[in-house]
Chains A and B, each alone.
Chain A
Amino acid sequence: MAEPAYLVASDSETTGEEKSSSPFPDIAIGIDIGTSQCSVAVWSGSQVELVRNTRNQKLMRSYVTFKDEIPAGGVSNQLAHEYEMLSGAAIFNMKRLIGRVDTDPVVHASKSLPFLVQTLNIGVRPFIAALVKNMWRSTTPEEVLAIFLVELRAMAEVQLKRPVRNVVLTIPVSFSRFQITRIERACAMAGLQVLRLMPEPTAVALLYAQQQQQSVHENMGSGSEKIALIFNMGAGFCDVAVTATAGGVSQIKALAGTALGGEDILLNMMRHLLPDMDTHFSTRGIDEIRRMGLLRVATQDAIHKLSSQSSVQIDVDLGNGRKISKALGREEFEDVNWEIFEKCESLIKQCLHDAKVEVEDISDVILVGGCSNIPKLRNIITGVCKREIYNGINPLEAAVRGAALEGAVASGVNDPFGSLDLLTIQATPLSIGVRADGNSFVPIIHQNTTMPVRRDVIFTTVHDNQAEALIIVYEGDEKAMEKNHLLGYFKITGIPPALKGVPEINVCMDIDASNVLRVFAGVVMPGVQNPAGPVMEVRMPTVDDGHGWCAEALNRTYGSTLDLVTVQKKGAH
């Protein structure tokens, strides 16, 4: 490629002022990068409007095709047919692949996609390639996402007639901070500055807060607190949030999420219809890819139809003498996917439990995302929450609209009619802590803590005259430390010689409103005023791509020589 389709914007470029004729030059736009569809919205001065592409679409397919050497994304490119996307030349589902290592089950599930996903199962990034003129051309999820974001940015700049730089992005609840850095890298490659990241259901919560506040204004009613449960299930992820809303302030009480979505339902159904699918398509020739595309499209159609009708007839000719002809009932569909639906139900219950909210306290239940039409899902939610589903929100546009509202609020825009008199108070989706007390995960900031937050815990040494200590930072809520995400590590050196348990090693974590995590660590000797030696300040995550194995390497090299234990004080909680 002679000219790159995107520009790499360096971090130092952030001070560049851009002239604009628009009345709101610096308003951040909201972008919802979905696994399957993307959308852009912006505060227009009186309301949120979705930005349309040249084909007048508000929702654009998330993919980038490499068929003519020059990549083209779903914003500008017109698909002649769905099969074109499934020809192997297009990369999609970037959001499910970004920031994952090749031991991740989600990456393994992606191996049945038409493009190439190769895994070595050693904890490095998977190899991803698109089929270009019968050759596998390698790329990365970040690159694909960046190309796509460049198209989104260009579209927004044309429509808004101003440069676009700041964005508010929606992300799945279950995204680790490492995955977020990959998203931010893709944005930087596309010349976009991430102003705020919002877990998808919290963006919906903000939109709901605005609606509630407007209805209070209109009815002159009392602005009492309303509890809402938001369930969001798209193609790649399933998220739940519980929010307490009053006076335009949405306070997130709890979040829960997992990487389960319509893709998993689709894959289950494809396997159900063609049980030997994996061996059938293992050679990955052009014919196999085409057949896989046929099956995928037929299955997708059937699933969509089952939302409105109780059974559907599937007829696909896969060639090579293979033909699938089957009547598929809704019950069968629900049986095949029972595990997914069960997981959804348990996520909702867990989120309500974490929020310490009783079902009777819920005012509204909001269902959004591409899977929101599945009857089984609606039944589960109405069953658990004992409420009808709130119908004041467009399930496919809610997240991006909320992101645009946050973009306007965080850009300092005021609305004379009070439509932007809003605030979202976010909570941490995952716990963050360090390895200590042997091989355990000791959380410092717990899950569902209101942000911004600063917490500290005192640790101490485990060996006499231990001069150094290793601080390994993890994120997650799994009991087994290895199952959590490694964010980074650093060493504290120069601990004055002392018996074990004497030096106080203070580890403090600070998350600001833009979700930046800083880890501070310093040593204080008892009876001394100042810390022994300079204090460390580390912005996390520090791990780079493909370092899924570095915790293991640290363990092998240092064992327990640089370990820490928490200080147990009597009377402590």
Chain B
Amino acid sequence: MLSSFSCHQQFSRPNSLQTRPHFNLKNPVWWRRRQNSVVVVRCGRNEVEESKNYYELLGVCVDASSQEIKDAYRKLQKKYHPDIAGEKGHESTLMLNKAYKVLVKDDLRKQYDASIGKISNNLRIGSIWEGSLRSQALFVDENACIGCRECVHHAGNTFMMDEGFGTARVKVQYGDDEERIEISVDSCPVNCIHWVDTEELEVLEYLIQPQPKVGYGIYGQGWERPANVFMAAKSFNKQLKQQEENQQRSKSTDEEETPAQSQARESAYRELKVGRFARIWSWMKRSTGQ
């Protein structure tokens, strides 16, 4: 079968946010069709649009049904299609068509979701590795991040903006060359980009996710994350260790138990006491198994 380079980049590399990766990287100029003022305006807007992912482009949430996606697409087409918006609608419609084509097909949408690290079931999948695992990984402390976009600007294949929270995040580890990453880390005005040990990364990325906060009546509800994620990670690891020890201790003391009993008790124990940690366990198992 014909191998389309653009498709390849779009789906196998996770940086689909740049929908024309090849030309964006290498020669951003020669596409611009006509050298008149309209084009300058058009390019300016494109830059904004290209930094959006397909869901943002269509203005739907990541869990939108295909009906919602179709409706949104039609609504936007009625605004931007060149029949209505004139020639300046060409570029926007290209983007819409591209986004729609992917999101409306289940298989393409799944691939795309994986590539952008879709937030599914309240469990945000962490950053993806470009190439082999290394001992050091990048981590953005989103508590400190002021949303300046500097890092995304310098290393757009590594960092992305979470428009919902207004903070930056690592989407691909080593998505850009080291020089660009170096520049982006240095460019951070609040020094919120950290080099961390790879083993710590998953816990950190899990903990930095905002968790729903139980409120009282209408007060106090919302989202929270640990004020100091590094401290939280330490205590989390400690708890994990304790949990393991507890399990081993319980195993050693209740040897008379039948395997079924033991299993039932263990699962009940997990559900009751470490429900929150069980989630990350299952997730880590899943993600390493993949």
Binding site for B on A (CB under 8 A): 196, 225, 246-249, 251, 406, 409-410, 412, 421, 423-425, 442-443, 450-458, 506, 508, 510, 512-514, 518, 520, 522, 524, 528-531, 535, 537, 566-569, 571-573
Asked if A518 and B33 sit within 8 Å, CB to CB, the answer is yes
> Does B77 belong to the interface (CB within 8 Å)?
yes
Asked if A452 and B97 sit within 8 Å, CB to CB, the answer is yes
Q: List 15 A-B contacts (CB under 8 A).
A: A225-B67, A247-B71, A409-B83, A421-B78, A425-B81, A450-B101, A512-B87, A528-B26, A530-B26, A531-B27, A535-B30, A571-B8, A572-B4, A572-B8, A573-B1
Asked if B22 and A423 sit within 8 Å, CB to CB, the answer is no
> Does B7 belong to the interface (CB within 8 Å)?
yes
Bound CA span A454–B101, Å: 13
Asked if B82 and A530 sit within 8 Å, CB to CB, the answer is no
The verdict on A569 contacting B3 (CB below 8 Å), with A251-B74, A423-B78 known, is yes
Bound CA span A518–B30, Å: 13
CB closest chain-A residue, reference B10:
A573
Bound CA span A451–B83, Å: 11
- Residues of A within 8 Å of B86, CB to CB, are 412
> Does B5 belong to the interface (CB within 8 Å)?
yes
Rank and list the top 6 A-B pairs by shortest CB-CB distance, nearest first. A513-B82, A458-B5, A572-B8, A572-B3, A535-B30, A249-B74
CB within 8 A of A457: which of B6, B26, B31, B83? Answer: B6
The verdict on A225 contacting B70 (CB below 8 Å), with A566-B3, A573-B4 known, is yes
Bound CA span A225–B73, Å: 13
CB closest chain-B residue, reference A444:
B4
B60-80 interface mask toward A, CB cutoff 8 Å, 1 = contact, 0 = none?
A: 000000010011001101100
Asked if B94 and A572 sit within 8 Å, CB to CB, the answer is no
- Residues of B within 8 Å of A537, CB to CB, are 33
Asked if A246 and B2 sit within 8 Å, CB to CB, the answer is no
> Does B278 belong to the interface (CB within 8 Å)?
no
Q: How far is the CB of B15 from chain A (nearest CB, A)?
A: 14
- Residues of B within 8 Å of A568, CB to CB, are 3
- Residues of A within 8 Å of B7, CB to CB, are 572-573
Asked if A423 and B77 sit within 8 Å, CB to CB, the answer is yes
- Residues of B within 8 Å of A573, CB to CB, are 1, 3-4, 7-8, 11
- Residues of B within 8 Å of A450, CB to CB, are 97, 100-101
> Does B12 belong to the interface (CB within 8 Å)?
yes
The total of chain B residues at the interface (CB under 8 A) is: 37
Residue among A410, A530, A572 with max Cβ neighbours from chain B (10 Å): A572
CB closest chain-B residue, reference A568:
B3
- Residues of A within 8 Å of B71, CB to CB, are 246-247
Bound CA span A409–B77, Å: 13
The verdict on A246 contacting B94 (CB below 8 Å), with A410-B83, A458-B5 known, is no
Bound CA span A412–B81, Å: 12
> Does B118 belong to the interface (CB within 8 Å)?
no
> Quick one: which of B207-239 are within 8 Å of A by CB?
none
> Does B90 belong to the interface (CB within 8 Å)?
yes
CB closest chain-B residue, reference A531:
B27
A246-B74, A456-B4 are known; give 13 further A-B pairs, CB within 8 A: A421-B78, A452-B97, A453-B97, A455-B6, A456-B5, A458-B22, A506-B5, A506-B22, A522-B27, A530-B27, A568-B3, A571-B8, A573-B7
- Residues of A within 8 Å of B100, CB to CB, are 450
Q: How far is the CB of B96 from chain A (nearest CB, A)?
A: 9
- Residues of A within 8 Å of B81, CB to CB, are 423, 425, 513
CB within 8 A of A423: which of B12, B83, B87, B97? Answer: B83
Q: How far is the CB of B98 from chain A (nearest CB, A)?
A: 9
Bound CA span A248–B7, Å: 32
Bound CA span A457–B8, Å: 10
- Residues of A within 8 Å of B22, CB to CB, are 456, 458, 506
Bound CA span A529–B29, Å: 11
Asked if A567 and B77 sit within 8 Å, CB to CB, the answer is no
Bound CA span A518–B93, Å: 17
Asked if B2 and A424 sit within 8 Å, CB to CB, the answer is no
> Does B268 belong to the interface (CB within 8 Å)?
no
Asked if B3 and A567 sit within 8 Å, CB to CB, the answer is yes
> Quick one: which of B24-56 are within 8 Å of A by CB?
26-27, 30-31, 33
Q: How far is the CB of B97 from chain A (nearest CB, A)?
A: 5
B247-270 interface mask toward A, CB cutoff 8 Å, 1 = contact, 0 = none?
A: 000000000000000000000000
- Residues of B within 8 Å of A406, CB to CB, are 83
Bound CA span A28–B67, Å: 34
Q: How far is the CB of B195 from chain A (nearest CB, A)?
A: 27
- Residues of A within 8 Å of B75, CB to CB, are 247
Q: How far is the CB of A27 from chain B (nearest CB, A)?
A: 13
Bound CA span A407–B262, Å: 76
Asked if B94 and A453 sit within 8 Å, CB to CB, the answer is yes
> Does B84 belong to the interface (CB within 8 Å)?
yes
Bound CA span A530–B25, Å: 9
The verdict on A457 contacting B93 (CB below 8 Å), with A249-B77, A410-B83, A423-B84 known, is no
Bound CA span A514–B101, Å: 21
Asked if B3 and A520 sit within 8 Å, CB to CB, the answer is no
The verdict on A452 contacting B94 (CB below 8 Å), with A524-B27, A529-B26, A531-B30 known, is yes
- Residues of A within 8 Å of B78, CB to CB, are 247-249, 421, 423
Bound CA span A455–B19, Å: 11
CB within 8 A of A567: which of B5, B27, B33? Answer: B5
Q: How far is the CB of A502 from chain B (nearest CB, A)?
A: 15
Residue among A249, A421, A424 with max Cβ neighbours from chain B (10 Å): A249
Asked if A569 and B93 sit within 8 Å, CB to CB, the answer is no
Bound CA span A523–B77, Å: 34
Q: How far is the CB of A567 from chain B (nearest CB, A)?
A: 6
Q: How far is the CB of A487 from chain B (nearest CB, A)?
A: 18
Q: How far is the CB of B14 from chain A (nearest CB, A)?
A: 12
Asked if B6 and A512 sit within 8 Å, CB to CB, the answer is no
Residue among B22, B33, B83, B87 with max Cβ neighbours from chain A (10 Å): B83
- Residues of A within 8 Å of B33, CB to CB, are 510, 518, 537
- Residues of B within 8 Å of A425, CB to CB, are 77, 81
